[in-house]
A and B are shown apart, each in its own frame.
Chain A
């Protein structure tokens, strides 16, 4: 069965610090990978996605993620976080032939101190 593991439950950073959130998945076939963000009181929103091609994908608000197939990883990065990045971040995977059934990690809560 597919699963997604996020390494950190809660991350606390100061503004301008660099961010890297870890995500590993288990599935042997072709996958599509996603990072979603949930700002306080708001809907889940898509940050970025990977289907194929360049393993370094760029998303909204300066976020990027790198797909490393050999490590089954899809880590999220941002060079300099802002207070407004405070939110919960979810990594998700869907198998290429499963029509959009998303498997989510448990989430990482990011708190950015001004």
Chain B
């Protein structure tokens, strides 16, 4: 069973640029959630994708957007990067339809905005 994978591992961007982060969900999972974890903080929910549509969103501005593909992999796009966007971005996959869809986390992408 292949776990959740994310790419790239690390990324450095400058303020105002755009970034795309990628996530491959665990085999058999159809739902992907994205979280932002700032240094010293717990992860914060950005949004969730199910059946290629956004299915719930946290308190993040529209410049945070995403996609889910037919194979259930997902992308997180952030436009007009700000210094405060520097964080670890976590992807979690789950299988909707169970009593509880336990979320399995990937290793994260460390984004640094200069």
Contact = CB atoms under 8 A, between A and B. Distances in A.
Contacts of B25: none
Nearest to B38: A106
Given A100-B94, A102-B43, A104-B42, A46 B56 contact: no
Interface residues of A, number: 22
Contacts, number: 63
A99 B58 CA distance: 13
A103 interface: yes
A104 B48 contact: no
Interface string A4-34: 1000000000000000000000000000100
Nearest to A107: B42
Contacts of A4: 42
6 interchain residue pairs of minimum CB distance: A104-B42, A44-B105, A104-B43, A106-B42, A43-B105, A107-B42
Interface of A: 4, 32, 36, 42-46, 49, 51, 90, 92, 98-107
Given A99-B48, A103-B45, 8 more contacts: A43-B3, A49-B100, A51-B99, A99-B31, A100-B31, A100-B33, A104-B42, A106-B40
